Amino acid sequence: MTTIPGPLLSATVTILALLFYFFSAMRVGNLRGRLGIKAPATVGHETFERAYRVQLNTLEQLGLFLPLLWIDTFFPIRLGWLAPLLGLIWVAGRVVYSRAYMNDPEKRLIGAASSGLVNAALFVLAILGVARAWMQVGF
Amino acid sequence: MTTIPGPLLSATVTILALLFYFFSAMRVGNLRGRLGIKAPATVGHETFERAYRVQLNTLEQLGLFLPLLWIDTFFPIRLGWLAPLLGLIWVAGRVVYSRAYMNDPEKRLIGAASSGLVNAALFVLAILGVARAWMQVGF
Amino acid sequence: MTTIPGPLLSATVTILALLFYFFSAMRVGNLRGRLGIKAPATVGHETFERAYRVQLNTLEQLGLFLPLLWIDTFFPIRLGWLAPLLGLIWVAGRVVYSRAYMNDPEKRLIGAASSGLVNAALFVLAILGVARAWMQVGF
């Protein structure tokens, strides 16, 4: 696995994450039509509201996930495959989160925690990678 | 057009997309003051709610559009200008969407569909470009 | 400062901006539990609503800030350290914004204006940098 370029691994994981997000956004649009939620409202039916929160929470998480994944990719520490591997766990955690949330919002915590923990780990890798780059320019 | 670097084309389209988004966010701030919507509320006047949904929906779409545009740029297939050209259509679709939505939310669908279809096309290009890169490293 | 690579400065500022955003998102999750706001609701207690708007407004601003910061980094004008320096002001402005907003939403304007002005300045730098790149390829 070490001979595959880091950016290729991260691009692959990025596409998977965006496919999940695209699906969650399409579902909101479909439910809006099916359940008769007239724009600009974003409330009015429990199922719609759950789907919309799944989408928006995923966007909120993507705002951390994608920048961190790519900082990890371009400022790598020794284990260059670790960030993309964590990214796969992030995507899997999102699928778990979405299925649980649509069923019962109170059961969303395991899925939410797993992508939150991945973001925290990607943060640590980003700080280590950027700190190493600072040391290399002489600080 | 083939001699212009892909990143330059994509950076130009990115600036145009962000200018539209910046305008849509400024409008929300102005309407908040003018219509007396006290923070933290995001509802209370139909015009404000429309403008806010245009901004937020644009942010939701940007979360797909920008990462896909740049994956397409750095993992190009033969037609390197195709992704930035699609990006111009995305921006035009957003302008149509915003004008229609502010006038009557039920008329937003053509504009919404055009930027949705562009995102789908950018997805196809991203998958093809990344698949080609995997084949080049020997898979 | 001119011998430190621009991408390293921008990566450092990106991490600081994301740390602030991560904190603002964690706070929303904690307040949701503490104040008993059941998902998928995003309203129901003034303190929660303030914290949620701080998070979401920061995400709305990140959607401009991060792409502009990195266009400025890869299409620099002469003063390559200017964009990361503006980025530090953006982060400081967010801290001011958050503290004021949680205390009294009507006092959020100075913090909001400072990150808005930084985004406007990053826009100018992006347009100048990309325009220069167009001239260099012969336009």
Of A44, A43, A57, A42, the residue nearest A100 (C-alpha): A57
A59/C59 CB distance under 8 A: yes
How far is Cα B130 from Cα C4, in angstroms, rounded to an integer?
A: 32
Centroid of chain to Cα B103: 20
pLDDT at residue A1, rounded to an integer = 47
pLDDT at residue A14, rounded to an integer = 98
* pLDDT bracket for residue B139 (50, 70, 90): confident
Pick from B14, B25, B56: which is nearest to C71 by CB? B14
pLDDT in tens, C6-56: 999 999 999 999 999 999 999 999 999 999 999 999 999 999 999 999 999
Q: A39-70: string of b/e by CB count within 10 Å (b at 16+)?
A: bbebeebeebbbbbbbbbbbbbbbbbbbbbbb
Domain locations along chain A: 6-136
Q: Work out the percent of chain A whose per-residue pLDDT is above 70.
A: 99
How far is Cα B62 from Cα B115, in angstroms, rounded to an integer?
A: 10
pLDDT in tens, B53-80: 999 999 999 999 999 999 999 999 988 8
Fold of C6-133: Four Helix Bundle (Hemerythrin (Met), subunit A) (1.20.120)
* pLDDT bracket for residue B1 (50, 70, 90): very low
Pick from C38, C56, C66: which is nearest to A67 by CB? C66
* pLDDT bracket for residue C58 (50, 70, 90): very high
Pick from B101, B127, B130: which is nearest to A8 by CB? B130
Least Cα separation, residue B128 to chain A (angstroms): 11
Pick from C4, C15, C39: which is nearest to A108 by CB? C39
pLDDT in tens, C81-138: 999 999 999 999 999 999 999 999 999 999 999 999 999 999 999 999 999 999 999 8
- How high is the mean pLDDT of chain A? 95
pLDDT at residue B104, rounded to an integer = 96
pLDDT at residue B30, rounded to an integer = 96
pLDDT at residue A4, rounded to an integer = 86
B6-136 to CATH, choices 1.20.120.550, 1.10.10.10, 3.20.20.70, 3.40.50.720 = 1.20.120.550
The count of CB pairs under 8 A between chains B and C is 62
Least Cα separation, residue C109 to chain A (angstroms): 23
Where is B15: in which H helix or E strand?
helix B6-35
* pLDDT bracket for residue A138 (50, 70, 90): confident
- DSSP states along B25-70: HHHHHHHHHHHT--TT---S-HHHHHHHHHHHHHHHHHHHHHHHHH
User: What contacts A34, CB < 8 A, 6 or more positions away?
Assistant: none
How far is Cα A44 from Cα C40, in angstroms, rounded to an integer?
A: 12
Structure tokens at C136: 């260099």
Sign of the C-alpha dihedral computed for residues A131, C86, C112 and C124 taken in this order: negative
pLDDT at residue C79, rounded to an integer = 86
Using a CB–CB cutoff of 8 Å, tell me whether C18 touches chain A.
Answer: yes
Q: Stretch C47-74: mean pLDDT, rounded?
A: 98
How far is Cα B12 from Cα B21, in angstroms, rounded to an integer?
A: 14
| B chain contacts of residue A11, beta-carbon cutoff 8 Å | 71, 74-75, 126, 130, 133
User: Mapped to the 3 state alphabet, what secondary structure does chain C carry?
Assistant: CCCCCHHHHHHHHHHHHHHHHHHHHHHHHHHHHHHCCCCCCCCCCHHHHHHHHHHHHHHHHHHHHHHHHHHHHHCCCCCCCHHHHHHHHHHHHHHHHHHHHHHCHHHCHHHHHHHHHHHHHHHHHHHHHHHHHHHHCCC
Q: Work out the percent of chain A whose per-residue pLDDT is above 90.
A: 93
Using a CB–CB cutoff of 8 Å, tell me whether B42 touches chain C.
Answer: yes
**Does A15 have pLDDT greater than 70?**
yes
pLDDT at residue A78, rounded to an integer = 85
**Does A24 have pLDDT greater than 80?**
yes
Cβ atoms of C10 and C76 within 8 Å: the answer is no
